[in-house]
């Protein structure tokens, strides 16, 4: 099957959040260090929000991830 220029473009972009890790290991399993691109990951269904669950879908917006506890 031939790939279209459109699909090539999408692949080329490869969701910038994942681009740096795609060749070496699954992007979702690498912890970035400061200065590195962050790999994509899928979160469980969010309370609030607009249904986006993949980190890569927030590209173009600054993100704060806060890990916290209820106890």
Partner 1 sequence: MPSAIKHDHEFSSKGLVTILVERQGAEQDNLESFLWKTFPDSECFSCVGGSVFVPIPESKGIPHSGVIGVDGTLLWAGNPLSAPKQIEDLLEAELVKVKKGWGATPDARKVRAALYGKGDFTGAQAAITALPEGEERTALQAELDKRYGVLKQAVTNLRDQGQWLAAQEAALELQKGVAGGKQVSEVAALVAEFDTDAAKAEIAMDKKLDKIVKQLRDKKTDNAKKALQSLVKGAGATKVGERAKHLQMVLDTKVE
1 or 6: whose CB is closer to partner 1? 6
Which residue's structure tokens are 């994509």? 40
Q: Is position 23 an interface residue for partner 1 (rule: CB under 8 A)?
A: no
Q: Number of residues interacting with partner 1: please give it, by CB under 8 A.
A: 52
Q: Which residues, 6+ apart, have CB-to-CB distance to 46 below 8 Å?
A: 52, 53
CA separation for the pair 49, 58 (Å, rounded): 11
Please state, in angstroms and rounded to a whole number, the distance separating the CA atoms of residues 61 and 70. Answer: 27
Smallest gap from residue 66 Cβ to partner 1 (A): 4
Kindly state whether residue 66 participates in binding partner 1, applying the rule CB under 8 A: yes
| Residues near partner 1 (CB under 8 A) | 6, 8-10, 12-13, 15-17, 19, 27-41, 43-52, 55-71
């Amino acid at each position: 099957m031939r790939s279209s220029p459109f699909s090539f473009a999408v692949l080329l972009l490869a969701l910038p959040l994942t681009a740096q890790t795609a060749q070496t290991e699954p992007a979702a399993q690498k912890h970035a260090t400061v200065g590195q691109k962050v790999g994509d990951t899928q979160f469980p269904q969010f309370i609030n929000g607009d249904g986006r669950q993949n980190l890569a879908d927030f590209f173009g917006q600054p993100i704060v991830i806060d890990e916290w506890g209820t106890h």
